[in-house]
């Protein structure tokens, strides 16, 4: 074990003062203070962690239900795992598709169309190709309400909807 005084710049007086202060504080703790044992403390930590996880799952379920129009049973059925959702889209259990390669840019609702459109620039895939696929899937499943207003305006004028340039 390393000796702190060997690596401390100075005469070690500060280390000694801190050591004395810790000693005084330890003397203030008595067995009558009802401190937990290590096992009880870990049990409480894990119980709080479990409660936070349950709370997060409930919050996520409410978010999916509100944003994607899913029912409570559908939220439970889909399990909220992104990989599972992608697999269900691939297997045809959920209506939709993928705008990118390797099951990227999953689209299963108007909200996901909007999310995918906003994420195009963060991908290393060709932007124009992914945008074309997003528009194609949105039109195929009648989810064009998820496309940005500028895209819808370009489509109304007879264009492809893609930004020029």
Q: How far apart are the first and last CA of the chain?
A: 64
* Banded pLDDT at 162 (limits 50, 70, 90): confident
Q: Is the pLDDT of residue 69 over 60?
A: no
Q: What per-residue confidence (pLDDT) applies to 59?
A: 79
Contacts of 127 (CB under 8 A, 6+ apart): 120, 121
The arithmetic mean of pLDDT across residues 137-157, rounded, is: 90
The arithmetic mean of pLDDT across residues 127-150, rounded, is: 91
Q: What per-residue confidence (pLDDT) applies to 136?
A: 92
Please give, one letter per residue, the 3-state secondary structure of 118-139. Answer: HHHHHCCCCHHHHHHHHHHHHH
| Paired strand residues for 106 | 98
Cα–Cα distance for residue pair 61/41, rounded to 1 Å: 30
Q: What per-residue confidence (pLDDT) applies to 41?
A: 75
Q: What per-residue confidence (pLDDT) applies to 138?
A: 92
Query: Tokens 């710049």 map to which residue?
Result: 9
Q: Is the pLDDT of residue 83 over 70?
A: no
Written as six digits, the tokens of 88 are 């269900």
Mean pLDDT in the chain? 78
The arithmetic mean of pLDDT across residues 88-115, rounded, is: 87
Written as six digits, the tokens of 27 are 């003397």
Distances (CA, A) of 122 to 74, 118, 119: 30, 9, 6
Q: What is the DSSP letter of 98?
A: E
Query: Tokens 């280390």 map to which residue?
Result: 15
Higher-confidence position of 104 and 84: 104
Other CB atoms within 10 A of residue 94 CB: 19
Q: What is the percentage of the chain residues whose pLDDT exceeds 90?
A: 8
Cα–Cα distance for residue pair 162/159, rounded to 1 Å: 8
Q: Is the pLDDT of residue 34 over 80?
A: no
């Amino acid at each position: 074990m390393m000796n702190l005084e060997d690596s401390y710049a100075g005469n070690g007086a500060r280390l000694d003062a801190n050591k004395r202060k810790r000693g005084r504080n330890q003397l203030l703790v008595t067995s009558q203070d009802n401190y937990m044992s290590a096992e009880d403390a870990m049990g409480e930590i894990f119980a709080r962690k479990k409660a936070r996880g349950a709370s997060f799952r409930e919050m996520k379920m409410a978010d999916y239900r509100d944003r994607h129009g899913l029912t409570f049973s559908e939220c439970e059925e889909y399990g909220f795992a992104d990989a599972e959702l992608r697999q269900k889209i691939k297997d045809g259990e959920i209506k939709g598709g993928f705008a990118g390669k390797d099951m990227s840019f999953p689209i299963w609702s108007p909200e996901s169309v909007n999310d995918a459109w906003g994420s195009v620039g963060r991908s290393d895939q060709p932007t124009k190709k992914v945008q074309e696929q997003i528009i194609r899937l949105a039109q195929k499943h009648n989810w064009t309400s998820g496309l940005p207003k500028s895209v819808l305006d370009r489509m109304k004028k007879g264009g492809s909807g893609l930004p020029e340039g």
